[in-house]
Amino acid sequence: MTRSVLFGVFVLMILVACQPSQKPTNDIDQKVNDLLSKMTLEEKVGQMNQYTGFYDITGPAPADGDAKNKYDHIKSGLVGSMLNVRGVSEVRKMQQLAVDSSRLGIPMIFGFDVIHGHKTLSPIPLAEAASWDLEAIEKSARIAAVEATAEGLNWTFAPMVDISRDPRWGRVMEGAGEDTYLGSKIGVARVRGFQGDDLSAVNTLAACAKHFAAYGFVEGGRDYNTVDIGTATLYNVVLPPFKAAIEEANVRTFMNSFNIINGIPSTASNFLLRDILKGEWGFDGFVISDWSSGAEMIAHGYAKDLEQVAELAANAGSDMDMESYSFVKHLVNLVNSGKVKESVVDDAVSRVLRVKFELGLFDDPYKYCDEEREKEMIYHPDHMAAALDMAKKSIVLLKNENALLPLSKNQKKIALIGDLADDKDSPLGNWRMAGESNTAVSVLEGLQEFGADVSFAEGVKLVTGPTAFPIELEVNTTDKSGIKEAVKLAKKSDVVVMVLGEHGLHSGEARSRSDLNLPGLQQELLEEVYKVNQNIVLVLMNGRPLTINWADENLPAIIEAWQLGTQSGKAIAQVLFGDYNPSGKLPMTFPRNVAHIPVYYNQFNSGRPAREGSAIFWPHYMDQSHEPLYPFGYGLSYSTFDYSNLKVNVTGPENVEVSVTVQNTGDVDGEEVVQLYIHDKVASIVRPVKELKGFNKVMIKAGDKAEVNFTLTKKELGFYNGTGEFLFEPGEFDVMVGSNSTDGLKSSFEL
C-alpha cells in the first residue's frame, strides 16, 4: 500500500467516525432515551396522563376523579402532569409525591390557563390584539409567565390562536380576532413572551398553541359545536397561526380542539396530528387533549367506549390525556393486545419527557417553588405599570364627532352612568383563572383618581343573582327602578359618560350569545338618558363585537374599552382626558346585526360582487346595508392622518417594495397602524377581495410625516390550494395601504 493510499484509508476512517450516528446526538434526546429505557410500560403510560387538581376546573367535574385515587396514582408514577394546581406550597406538595414516592421520581409538569396575565391581569386577548402592538403583547405574555412561574407553574394552555369570524362565539375574547396574518403575528409574540429565550429559565414556561384545529369555526358560534369547513379555508385561514407558532417561536405544546373536522374529532385526527403537525411541520413537542375531548369522542359517535378512545387518540398522535382517563385506564392493555404499538407510546412519552428536560425539571423539580420569588413577583409594580400600558394601547376610538373627546381636564359636572362603571370585576374579563375577584380599578375609581368632577348613577343592574363561574348569568330584564335617578343626574350634567356592555362572564368558554345588542335594559337606559342629554360618551366594555347601530347613529363619541384587566379604569380615564391618544384598531369586524354574521373583511367576491344600491341580483340583504358597522382594522385617534405618495416597486420576480407617506395632520402626537392589503386578481383558487399582508405601527408627532415601508415576498403573495400545497402564482395584484380595511390608497403591480 502506498503512502497516499494509506492516507486515503485514514481519511475515510475519520469521515466514517464523524458521520452522524443513527443514535440521537442531542444531549436531551440522549437523556430522554436513557430514561425511556428504564421505564415500565405502566410508567410510560403514566407520563401520558394528566389529572386536574380540582382547583379551578373549567370543564364538567370528572365523575371518578377522587383525589385519593389521584394521589396514589402520582405516587405510583402514573401521572405525568397536573393542571389546576397552583401556588408554591401546593405545587411543591404534589411534586414531592411524584419525585419522592414514584419509582423513577420523574417530576410532573404543572399546567394552567394563564390567558391574559396571571394575578396581575392584562386586557383580554382580543383587546390586546386591538393594539396591533407586537412588542407590548409579547411583554404582556412575558409578565404573565413571570407571575405564573412564581406560583409554581411551568406550562400555560395559551395562546389560543383560533381564528374566528363569529362574534356569537364567546371564545373570540380569547383569541386575536378574525385575521390570519394578524393572528399569526400575535400568536408568535405571545409564545415568545411565555417561553422567553430560554425555556430552562426559572421565569419562563412552555406555551401551548390551541385549539388544533378550526375550533373558531363552530357552526352558529355555539361553543363545542360541529365544524364544517373546506380545506382551502383550513390551509389558508385556520392553520397558518399554528404553523407560525412552531416555525417562528418553537412552541412546545399543542392542544386538540373539541370539534370534528371532516367528520373526525381532532383528538383522533391522523390527518391533523400525524400528517400535518408531526409530519409536514416536524413538530417535536407534545400534544395534549382538551378537557375530556378524548372521552367526548363517544358522544360524537366516533368511539364506542373509553378503550377505543385511547386507541384512536394515541394512534392518531395525541400524547397526553386531559381528564378522560382513557390512557391511564386502557393504554397498557391496548399495547399488550397489539392495538397500539409500543413505539407509539414511546414516541408520545419521549415528547413529554423532552419538554420536561428542556424546562430543567430534572435538574431541579422544585425550581418554580420559591416562596420568596412568589411574594416578590405577584403584583410587582412593574407588572402593574405594564398592564396599564397594555390597557391603554388596547382601547379603540370608534366615534368622536366634533372632537367631543378628549374631555377637558377642567370639565365640570360629569355624569357617570351604568352598572359597569363601578364594577371592579367585569373588567377582569373571563379566563382570569388565578385573578382575584373585584380587583380591577373601576371606571368610577379611575375618574376619581384623575380628580374629575364626577357623579355616579347605576341606572340599571346588568345582572341579577350570583355570577360565580361557571353558572349561567341571569341578566336583569325587569328592574328599571334606577333609570329615573340616572336621567335626573344626566339632566343636570354637562357631559355623560355611559359605561355599557357585557358582564365579564358574558364572553369566554361556553358563553355563546344569539343576540349581540347591549344585554338587558342597557339600551333602554341609554335612550332615556339621551332624551335629556345628548352629550354622551359611550364607553363599551365587552368581550366581543356588539351590534350598536343606535349608538353609532345617535351618539357623538364611542370608545371600545373591552375588558382591560386590573388597570382598566385608569386606562379609560387617561384616554377620556387625553393623557393617552388612542391608537387601537379593531381586530374583528363589527356586524350591524346578528344575521350579518359571518361578516369579515377578507371575503370572496362571488360571481356577483358587492354593488351597493344597484339592481337586486347580488348577494345582499334587502333590509340591511351590505357594509359592516365598523370594518376590520378600524379605529380613530385624537390626531388625523393623511396618506399620500403610495409607491409600488417590483424589485424582483417575487419581490415588491411598497412605501407610503403618512402625515399627522392633527394637533397632538399620535400613533397610527398603517395597514397593507393585497388582492390577487386571478389565481388557480379564488383569492379574497383583500388580505392583510403587512402593518406597521408608527408614532408621528403632530405635523410630522413618516415614510412607511413594506416588503412583499413569495410568503405574503402566495397561498395554499385545497390540498395544502403552497403556490406562488405571478400575475396581477391590487395593493391598498391605509388606516383600515376599507380606506386607503390603491395601486397595482404585476409579477
Catalytic residues: 290
Beta bridge partners, 470, equal: none
Cell match 363517544: residue? 298
Extended strands (E) in 599-704 = 641-652, 655-664, 670-680, 691-700
For residue 723, the tally of other CB atoms under 10 A from its CB is 8
Using the rule CB under 6 A, is 291 a contact of ligand BGC?
yes
Residues 474-533 that bind ligand BGC (CB under 6 A): 509
Binding flags for ligand BGC, 432-471, as an x/- string (CB under 6 A): ----------------------------------------
Q: Return the residue of 50, 58, 350, 574 that touches ligand BGC, per CB under 6 A.
A: 58
Q: Is 118 one of the binding residues for ligand BGC (CB under 6 A)? A: no
Note whether 190 binds ligand BGC by CB under 6 A. Answer: no
> 113 vs 321, which CB is nearer to ligand BGC?
113
286 sits near ligand BGC (criterion: CB under 6 A): no
Q: How far is the CB of 181 from ligand BGC (least distance, A)?
A: 23
In whole angstroms, the minimum distance from the beta carbon of 550 to ligand BGC comes to 34
Of 51, 132, 155, 157, which one interacts with ligand BGC (CB under 6 A)? Answer: 157
DSSP state of 519: P
Question: For ligand BGC, which is the closer residue by CB, 59 or 556?
Answer: 59
- For ligand BGC, how many residues bind (rule: CB under 6 A)? 9
Least Å distance, CB 87 to ligand BGC, is 17
- Check binding of 169 to ligand BGC (CB under 6 A): no
Looking at the Cβ atoms of 149 and 442, the one nearer to ligand BGC is 149
Residue 57 or residue 199: which is nearer to ligand BGC going by CB? 57
Alpha helices in 443-567 (DSSP H): 443-449, 483-491, 522-532, 549-554
How far does the chain reach from its first CA to its final CA, in angstroms?
61
Q: How far is the CB of 144 from ligand BGC (least distance, A)?
A: 14
Beta-carbon-side half-sphere exposure of residue 229 (alpha carbons within 13 Å): 25
Residue among 28, 29, 42, 59 that touches ligand BGC (CB under 6 A): 59
Q: Which is nearer to ligand BGC, 154 or 533 (CB)?
A: 154
Q: Is 631 helix (H, G, I), strand (E, B) or coil?
A: coil
Cα-based distances in Å from 372 to 114, 150, 379: 21, 9, 13
d(CA 116, CA 148): 11
Run of H or E residues at 557: strand 557-560
Q: What cell was used for 8?
A: 486515503
> Which residue, 291 or 641, is less far from ligand BGC as judged by CB?
291
| Minimum separation from the CB atom of position 340 to ligand BGC (A) | 25
645 φ/ψ sector (left φ>0, alpha ψ -120 to 50, else beta): left
Per CB under 6 A, does 116 bind ligand BGC? no
Shortest distance in whole angstroms from residue 693 CB to ligand BGC: 29
Across the strands, what pairs with 499? 539
Write b or e for each residue in 117-138: b if 16 or more Cβ atoms lie within 10 A of its Cβ, otherwise e.
bbbbbbbbbbbbbbbbbbebbb
Identify which of 237, 233, 216 has the alpha carbon closest to the alpha carbon of residue 174. Answer: 216
| Residue 112 vs 456, nearer CB to ligand BGC | 112
What single letter denotes the amino acid at residue 713?
T
Q: Is 113 in the site for ligand BGC (CB under 6 A)?
A: yes
Q: Does 290 bind ligand BGC (CB under 6 A)?
A: yes
Min CB(158)–ligand BGC separation in Å: 8
3-state secondary structure of 305: coil
- At closest approach, how far in Å is the CB of 157 from ligand BGC? 3
The nearest distance, CB 330 to ligand BGC, in angstroms, is: 22
Residue 540: helix, strand or coil by DSSP?
Answer: strand
- Per-position x/- string for 200-239, each x denoting binding to ligand BGC as judged by CB under 6 A, each - no binding: ----------x-----------------------------
Question: Closest Cα to residue 538, out of 518, 521, 520?
Answer: 518
Nearest approach, Cβ of 270 to ligand BGC (angstroms)?
Answer: 22
Q: Are residues 342 and 41 in contact, defined by beta-carbon separation less than 8 angstroms?
A: yes
Residue 557 to residue 445: CA distance in whole angstroms: 21
- Closest by CA to 340, choosing from 313, 303, 301, is 313
Which residues within the stretch 77-96 sit at the binding site for ligand BGC (CB under 6 A)? 83
- Whichever of 176 and 334 has its CB closer to ligand BGC, that residue is 176
Q: How far is the C-alpha of 687 from the C-alpha of 679, rounded, in Å?
A: 7
**Residue type at position 598:** P
Which residues lie below 8 Å from residue 90, measured CB to CB, with a gap of 6+?
Answer: 53, 55, 152
CB nearer to ligand BGC: pick between 288 and 441: 288
Does 65 sit near ligand BGC (CB under 6 A)? no
All three cell numbers of 681: 386578481
Q: Which is nearer to ligand BGC, 257 or 581 (CB)?
A: 257
* Contact between 162 and ligand BGC per CB under 6 A: no
Question: In the chain, what's the furthest Cα-to-Cα distance?
Answer: 110
Could you list the residues that contact ligand BGC (CB under 6 A)?
58-59, 83, 113, 157, 210, 290-291, 509
